[in-house]
Chain A
Amino acid sequence: MTAVTLATEEVRLARIALVGPPNSGKTTLFNTLTGGRQKTANYPGVTVERKSGRLRTPVGRTVELLDLPGSYSLRARSPDEAITRDVVLGRQAREALPDAVVCVTDATNLNQHLRLLLELRQLGRPLILALNMMDIAQKRGCQISLEALSRHLGIPVVTTVAMRKNGVQDLLSQIDTLLNQPPVASGATADWVEPTPEAIRAYHREVEQLLREAVVQEGAPERLTRQLDRVLLHPMVGPLILLGLLFLMFQAVFSWAEAPMDWIDGGMASLQALLSEHMADSLLKSLLIDGVIAGVGGVVIFLPQILILFLFILLLEDSGYMTRAAFLMDRLMSAVGLNGRAFIPLLSSFACAIPGIMAARTIAHPLDRLTTILIAPLMTCSARLPVYVLLIAAFIPNTTVWGGIGLQGLVMFGLYATGIVGALVMAGVLRLTLLRGGRQPLLMELPSYKWPNPVNVLLGLLERARIFMRRIGTIILSVLVLLWFLSTFPAPPVGATEPPIYYSLAGLIGRGLEPLLAPIGFNWQIAIALVPGLAAREVAVAALGTVYALSSDEGTVTEALTATLAHDWTLATALALLAWYVFAPQCLATLAAARRETNSWRWPTFMFVYLMVLAYLAAFVTYRVALAMGGG
Chain B
Amino acid sequence: MNNHSEQERQAFALGQAVGLGFTQPLGQMRRGSAGRVLAVSSEMGGHDIERGLLEMGFVEGARVEVLHHGFLGQDPLAVRINQTMTIALRRCEANAVLVGPLHDSAVEAKPGLTLEYASS
Hey, which bits of chain B sit against chain A, CB under 8 A? 40, 42, 45, 47, 49-57, 59-60, 67-76, 78, 80-90, 92-93, 110-115, 117
* A72→B87 contact, CB < 8 A: no
B65 nearest CB neighbor, chain A only: A226
In terms of DSSP, what is the predominant structure of the interface of chain B? mixed
B90 nearest CB neighbor, chain A only: A442
Given contacts A221-B83, A441-B89, contact A72 B51 (CB under 8 A): no
Residue in B42, B57, B111 whose CB lies within 8 Å of A221? B111
Given contacts A197-B54, A201-B60, A330-B70, contact A221 B84 (CB under 8 A): yes
A283 at the interface (CB under 8 A from B): no
- Across the A-B interface, give the 10 residue pairs with the lowest CB-CB distance, nearest first: A221-B83, A233-B68, A235-B71, A446-B86, A331-B72, A200-B54, A441-B93, A204-B59, A327-B88, A444-B88
What's the nearest-Cβ distance from chain A to residue B20, in Å? 19
* B59→A201 contact, CB < 8 A: yes
Residues of B near A205 (CB, < 8 A) are: 117
* B113→A115 contact, CB < 8 A: no
B112 nearest CB neighbor, chain A only: A218
What's the nearest-Cβ distance from chain A to residue B47, in Å? 6
The contact sample of 12 A-B pairs, CB cut-off 8 A, is A196-B47, A200-B55, A218-B110, A229-B68, A234-B68, A235-B69, A238-B71, A327-B76, A328-B70, A330-B70, A331-B75, A442-B93
Residues of A near B42 (CB, < 8 A) are: 197
A212 nearest CB neighbor, chain B only: B113
Cα distance A236–B74 in the bound complex, in angstroms: 11
What's the nearest-Cβ distance from chain B to residue A126, in Å? 25
Hey, which bits of chain A sit against chain B, CB under 8 A? 72-73, 75, 77, 108-109, 111-112, 115, 195-197, 200-201, 204-205, 208, 211-212, 215, 218, 221, 225-226, 229-230, 233-236, 238-239, 323, 326-328, 330-332, 334, 340, 441-447
B114 nearest CB neighbor, chain A only: A212
B93 nearest CB neighbor, chain A only: A441
Residues of A near B112 (CB, < 8 A) are: 111, 218, 221
Cα distance A340–B78 in the bound complex, in angstroms: 13
* B57→A442 contact, CB < 8 A: no
Residues of A near B113 (CB, < 8 A) are: 111, 208, 211-212, 215, 218
Residue in A109, A215, A230 whose CB lies within 8 Å of B84? A109
Cα distance A443–B97 in the bound complex, in angstroms: 13
B47 nearest CB neighbor, chain A only: A197
What's the nearest-Cβ distance from chain A to residue B30, in Å? 13
Residues of B near A75 (CB, < 8 A) are: 51, 55
Given contacts A112-B81, A442-B76, A442-B93, contact A200 B51 (CB under 8 A): yes
Residues of A near B45 (CB, < 8 A) are: 441
Cα distance A464–B18 in the bound complex, in angstroms: 54
* A208→B83 contact, CB < 8 A: no
Residue in A111, A225, A334 whose CB lies within 8 Å of B82? A111
* B70→A327 contact, CB < 8 A: yes
Residues of B near A229 (CB, < 8 A) are: 67-68, 78, 86
What's the nearest-Cβ distance from chain A to residue B48, in Å? 8
* B76→A330 contact, CB < 8 A: yes
Residue in A215, A230, A443 whose CB lies within 8 Å of B93? A443
Cα distance A112–B87 in the bound complex, in angstroms: 12
Residues of A near B49 (CB, < 8 A) are: 441
Most chain B CB atoms below 10 A, which of A226, A234, A443:
A443
Q: A197-B40, A221-B84 are in contact. List 11 more A-B contacts (CB 8 A).
A: A75-B51, A108-B84, A111-B112, A197-B47, A208-B115, A225-B86, A233-B68, A327-B76, A331-B72, A331-B75, A445-B86
Residues of A near B83 (CB, < 8 A) are: 221
Residues of A near B82 (CB, < 8 A) are: 111-112
Residues of B near A204 (CB, < 8 A) are: 54, 59
Residues of A near B75 (CB, < 8 A) are: 330-331
Cα distance A200–B56 in the bound complex, in angstroms: 10
Given contacts A201-B60, A218-B112, A226-B67, contact A442 B88 (CB under 8 A): yes
Residues of A near B81 (CB, < 8 A) are: 112
* B76→A331 contact, CB < 8 A: yes
Cα distance A110–B54 in the bound complex, in angstroms: 15
Residue in B57, B70, B86, B111 whose CB lies within 8 Å of A331? B70
Residue in A109, A195, A211, A235 whose CB lies within 8 Å of B70? A235
* B76→A340 contact, CB < 8 A: yes
Residues of B near A328 (CB, < 8 A) are: 70-71
What's the nearest-Cβ distance from chain B to residue A441, in Å? 4
Most chain B CB atoms below 10 A, which of A211, A331, A340:
A331
Cα distance A238–B89 in the bound complex, in angstroms: 17
B40 nearest CB neighbor, chain A only: A197
* A235→B51 contact, CB < 8 A: no
Cα distance A233–B70 in the bound complex, in angstroms: 8
Residues of A near B73 (CB, < 8 A) are: 331
Residues of A near B111 (CB, < 8 A) are: 221
Cα distance A77–B47 in the bound complex, in angstroms: 13
